[in-house]
Structure 1
């Protein structure tokens, strides 16, 4: 996973009297710089789930770096190996900003960020900074807030306030050691009004085809929603290899990627299953694609997935007489 780190802040030597006053008064809320005020800003970002696999998008990187610049003792993560669950980390639209709710300072940092994102601006726009950054939802310290259910405010996330989930073993899944921010495509691409002062319109990102389960990479803005297709499933009697190929079909695989989709392709090609799209795997893919006139690169795209589906599909039974 990618991480952005900044150096530790220098220690400050305080006189005893000053220290006493500092401890007695609550520290002021800290926040990123507020953007130039606009009378009209983005509409709340609609929920658009992940459909593709990519490294962190430009706006995702800018947001992660902004948070670390504001709170230099922190770090952030964006990338994640694409898998079978659902996460905007997969298509590069999510930031995990590391701050710990079990410490007073860490909890305050997370609370300050949430308050800044959801504050009403001078023009009366509710949760203005979240809208201007394209934030779809926030998960922090056992709770979730989302634009799609903003009237409900903060809600308990995934049963995380239950007594059985109060231990440190649940801190990551319950987001007590980091704040999760999922972004719209406009936010992830970094062209919302927070960054350039121009109100971004709708962007629904890449669409998957009807016969594959994942979309290709982001190439351009899309102002209309993607068509809905049912999930593609392997027919009964399929091998485990074919089922995994169908499950990850369409997911774009490039140099250095890792995870279950890579393993599915390696199984299909009958090469060592390392889970990493390494040099030997890429060489075998070039050979495979060349023999089938699918191009000379080692990138696994839509046409290659369709070929692998056909390669691993159950063979029709020959009728006996």
Structure 2
């Protein structure tokens, strides 16, 4: 694959890091790590909305600190929780940042630090980049006048010029999922892989009461009741009925088809705060659209209340309460309150592939995200590199529901000067009709299309899944004799 100047710069920076972080002989031993499968956490694309000071260090942050100090007992704990929001709330205020005491001017400690960083950021045996950092739930790292963000498009080390040069410690800032021990490092499965997308979401409420055990981040912490941690509550300092909303911003567009809401279950307040009138709404790019609505919903019992709807493809969903309840145990104030919320992955709509590059804007899911070109942030799907053109690579989309299909449009990558590269030479398009795969398109020796969409028509029939299979790949170029299958987008139509 021919790489852009920006990508080459990022790779050069990454190579420089490996040179620094991986000298010929390490005195420091590598930490132990569990054995994982191929599934892995998404990159943390957004910064979490700051909540102010938490009550102390989060469990995952404490475990990460204990892990490092146990394996490198000469190193130090320079702090996790510090409540100081004068400059805006952040990781230390919320108990999800750890300062690991290692000195860049001490050869032994510098080697220990760079051994751990190289270990965290190395690819795993499946080619997942920054594998252990993603599994632990690390958002960004600062060390020795450099910073690396895993929640930004550029994931290379860059110069850092903050007030502290960080030469006496490594700063690890964790995601909320990592800080709560919800990632695969602790659970053995990637966060949200159980079908609950809410665990990886950032939360944007219309208002939030942040005291007495209530906090916005308790509504997706995996605790289903309000007896141990309360959950989320709107501020509600009013005796007047009004509207409130709780928005979940996902790491990227996802298919989902149900939301489950858990009411309060603390004695004397079971069901209080659950709205009487509400809608579950999704963002379509320009407006909020209701997908499930309830009017006059009775005071609920404790436990799960599930609201299904047709499968949706978006990165934003919210619960919009339009009529709240007055709680006699709370001075008849009107609040919207949930102990927990879950967003359930739709069984259909998922993208799978023989192989997939999940970095530099490439992702299997990006072949079905509505973006017809290669934008840098969303380039589409790319297989991993093959040394010879005679290789089989496929990408498959499971549709939300069977739909009549009589035309398939394949969009090539469009980034100049690489437009059309990666479009397969020989390929088929097949539809799953409920019992078997039916090949509807066969092409041999297909010319490089440039940036032009390639449409193929055939007699329409209901389809549940579509698979594009490449059997001969196009060379990336004379300077890079590897072969990829690449598509920016796949679209279906009835005719």
Smaller-chain TM-score bracket:
0.5 to 0.7
CA distance in 2, matches of 1:43, 1:205: 14
- With normalisation by structure 1, the TM-score equals 0.54
C-alpha offsets along residues 177-234 of structure 1, whole Å, 9 cap, x if unaligned? 00011111100001210112011024336655448899836423179229xxxxxxxx
- Paired residues of 1:206 and 1:216 also in contact (CA < 8 A): no
Aligned to 2:33: 34
CA distance in 2, matches of 1:212, 1:178: 35
Compute the displacement of 1:48 (Å): 2.2
Compute the displacement of 1:80 (Å): 0.3
CA distance in 1, matches of 2:207, 2:220: 20
Q: Among residues 83, 86, 98, which one is paired with 1:84 in the alignment?
A: 86
- Paired residues of 1:37 and 1:122 also in contact (CA < 8 A): no
Matched, 1:52 2:55: no
Aligned to 1:105: 108
CA distance in 2, matches of 1:208, 1:176: 38
State the SS of the aligned residue for 2:170: strand
Q: Among residues 225, 247, 254, which one is paired with 2:249 in the alignment?
A: 225
Q: Among residues 200, 203, 225, which one is paired with 1:203 in the alignment?
A: 200
Name the structure with the higher strand share: 2
CA distance in 2, matches of 1:130, 1:45: 11
Matched, 1:191 2:188: no
Aligned to 2:264: none
Name the structure with the higher helix share: 1
CA distance in 2, matches of 1:119, 1:83: 34
State the SS of the aligned residue for 2:219: coil
Mark the structure with the bigger radius of gyration.
2
- Structure 2 unaligned segments of length 5 or more: list them: 1-23, 193-198, 222-246, 251-328, 336-495
User: Across the two proteins, how many residue pairs are aligned to each other?
Assistant: 195
Compute the displacement of 1:151 (Å): 3.3
- Structure 1 unaligned segments of length 5 or more: list them: 1-24, 161-169, 227-292, 296-301, 303-321
C-alpha offsets along residues 126-173 of structure 1, whole Å, 9 cap, x if unaligned? 000010011110000000001123535100012x6xxxxxxxxx6xx1
C-alpha offsets along residues 64-116 of structure 1, whole Å, 9 cap, x if unaligned? 11111111111222010232224211111111111010111121111111111
- Paired residues of 1:52 and 1:216 also in contact (CA < 8 A): no
CA distance in 2, matches of 1:109, 1:156: 21
